């Protein structure tokens, strides 16, 4: 294999930069789209559940019932939007979606508590949205348990034998945004990097310049690296910009080493840009390259990286496929750097896999491009 010539390599990189400057669509894709996607998905995606619409059927109207309802109000999770007189009205109310949960307090609720008997409270939940229903029911159970503990102290004046002191690390507020935004950096950069280079070689074919390129003394590797370098620089700028916006706009903590983040991003981007070059070499048209690039990056990035769905809950076949998705490893790295402040001593395995992915991406790109330049 002929040795790399820095002069020819820089000439190819300069040629790609000039083509980028003449193509405003690629510039928009390179710089504006990552920011737009981060802001849009950062605000749109949330797994936090608040202002749960609660309707009350209070058949007791005693002091203890009011105290229980005060606990729901004070939690900040529920909004009492109405009261019903009859349980027969619950079905139509849930059918219309006017409430997520209905709390039924039976007669003699106050009297049973005062006499030391067990009092029953019924929660009827709209299960059409299983995730929201599960979270709302968990919140309701926690509030009732706290109320029950207070009632036990007041009636029997005893202490619980065991009390739990909970301390949350890394995401103290349990905010889903703190987990979503670092994951978005990984997923968005997989999409953008793959799409950017998926157009490069296909553009040469469409403009009729591939034959001229083939007749030059540059080697295949110099062509590939020359096309890759400008987009690698753009990708690193995008990672830094998205990370900065995540901290400034969404208030996500950044506790790790920025240099380790850039190093991991370098390996991840090289592999993903190489994947885009493979697509570009095989597609030969920008439209087909864009379509294949979206399928090869967007779907695995969102669905198989662990960003939207836990990998451990997936079927065995899909779990095996996730090992081929580089965003899976970069997502672990970004969350570890942002939230935990850990470095290569913890994330070395993910870093090593991304380095191997970078070599694999470049190797596949060189193999695919071999048919075009001989």
pLDDT tens, per residue, the chain with 374 residues: 556 777 888 888 888 888 778 877 778 878 888 999 999 999 888 877 888 999 999 988 888 889 989 999 998 889 999 998 888 888 888 888 889 999 999 888 888 887 777 888 899 998 888 878 888 888 898 898 888 877 776 655 555 555 566 677 888 777 888 889 999 999 999 998 888 888 787 777 777 676 666 667 777 778 888 888 999 999 999 999 999 999 999 999 999 999 999 999 999 999 999 998 888 888 878 888 888 888 889 889 989 999 988 898 889 999 999 999 999 999 999 999 999 999 999 999 999 999 999 999 888 888 887 645 54
Q: Which pLDDT value is given to residue 334?
A: 95
Q: Which pLDDT value is given to residue 177?
A: 87
Other Cβ atoms less than 10 A from the Cβ of 296: the count is 20
Cβ–Cβ < 8 Å for 37, 184: yes
Kindly report, as residue ranges, where domains of CATH 3.40.1710.10 are found in the chain: 52-156
Q: What is the spatial distance between Cα 65 and Cα 110, in angstroms, rounded to a whole number?
A: 7
Phi then psi for residue 36, to 5 deg, are -60, -40
- DSSP characters over 268-299: HHHHHHHHHHHHHHHH-SHHHHHHHHHHHHHH
User: Between β-strands 52-58 and 122-125, what pairing exists: parallel, antiparallel or unpaired?
Assistant: unpaired
Phi then psi for residue 257, to 5 deg, are -100, 120
Q: What is the spatial distance between Cα 269 and Cα 228, in angstroms, rounded to a whole number?
A: 10
Q: Residue 122's beta-bridge partner residues?
A: 104
Q: What is the spatial distance between Cα 100 and Cα 79, in angstroms, rounded to a whole number?
A: 10
b (16+ CB within 10 A) / e for 2-20: eeeeeebbeebbebbbebb
Residue with tokens 């709390």: 103
> Which among 303, 296, 293, 291 is positioned nearest to 331, based on CA atoms?
303
Q: Which pLDDT value is given to residue 332?
A: 94
**Architecture category of domain 52-156 in CATH:** 3-Layer(aba) Sandwich (3.40)
Helix (H/G/I), strand (E/B), else coil: 80: strand
Other Cβ atoms less than 10 A from the Cβ of 138: the count is 12
Q: What is the spatial distance between Cα 237 and Cα 315, in angstroms, rounded to a whole number?
A: 37
CA quadruple 196, 202, 208, 209: dihedral, nearest 10: 50
Q: Which pLDDT value is given to residue 214?
A: 65
Cβ–Cβ < 8 Å for 305, 189: no
User: Between β-strands 101-105 and 122-125, what pairing exists: parallel, antiparallel or unpaired?
Assistant: antiparallel
Q: Which pLDDT value is given to residue 27?
A: 80
């Amino acid at each position: 294999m002929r040795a790399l010539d820095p002069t020819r390599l820089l000439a190819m990189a300069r040629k790609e930069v000039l083509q980028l400057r003449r193509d405003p669509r690629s510039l928009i894709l390179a710089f504006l789209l990552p920011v737009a996607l981060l802001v849009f998905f950062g605000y749109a995606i949330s797994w936090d559940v608040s202002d749960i619409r609660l309707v009350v059927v209070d058949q007791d109207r005693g002091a203890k019932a009011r105290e229980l309802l005060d606990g729901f109000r004070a939690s900040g999770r529920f909004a009492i939007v109405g009261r019903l007189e009859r349980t027969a009205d619950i079905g139509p109310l849930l059918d219309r979606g006017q409430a997520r949960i209905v709390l039924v307090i039976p007669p003699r609720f106050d009297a049973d508590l005062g006499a030391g008997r067990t009092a029953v409270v019924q929660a009827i939940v709209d299960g059409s949205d299983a995730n929201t229903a599960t979270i709302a029911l968990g919140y309701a159970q926690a509030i009732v348990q706290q109320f029950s503990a207070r009632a036990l102290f007041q009636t029997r004046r005893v202490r619980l034998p065991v009390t739990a002191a909970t301390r949350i690390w890394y995401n103290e507020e349990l905010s889903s945004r703190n987990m979503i935004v670092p994951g978005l950096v990984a997923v968005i950069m997989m999409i953008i990097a793959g799409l950017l280079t998926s157009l490069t070689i296909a553009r040469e074919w469409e403009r009729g310049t591939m034959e001229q390129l083939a007749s030059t003394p540059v080697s295949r590797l110099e062509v590939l690296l020359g096309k890759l370098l400008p987009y690698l620089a753009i990708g690193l700028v995008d990672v830094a910009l998205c990370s900065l916006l995540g901290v400034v706009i969404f208030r996500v903590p950044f506790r790790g080493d920025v240099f380790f983040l850039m190093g991991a991003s370098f390996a991840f981007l090289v592999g993903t840009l190489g994947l885009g070059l493979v697509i570009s070499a095989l597609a030969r048209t920008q439209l087909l390259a864009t379509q294949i690039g979206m399928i090869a990056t967007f779907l695995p990035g969102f669905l198989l990286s662990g960003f939207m769905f836990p990998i451990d809950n997936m079927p065995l076949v899909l779990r095996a496929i996730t090992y081929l998705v580089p965003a899976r490893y970069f997502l672990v790295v970004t969350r570890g750097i942002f939230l935990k402040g850990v470095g290569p001593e913890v994330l070395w395995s993910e870093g090593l896999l991304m380095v191997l992915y970078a070599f694999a991406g470049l190797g596949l790109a060189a193999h695919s491009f071999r048919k075009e330049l001989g």
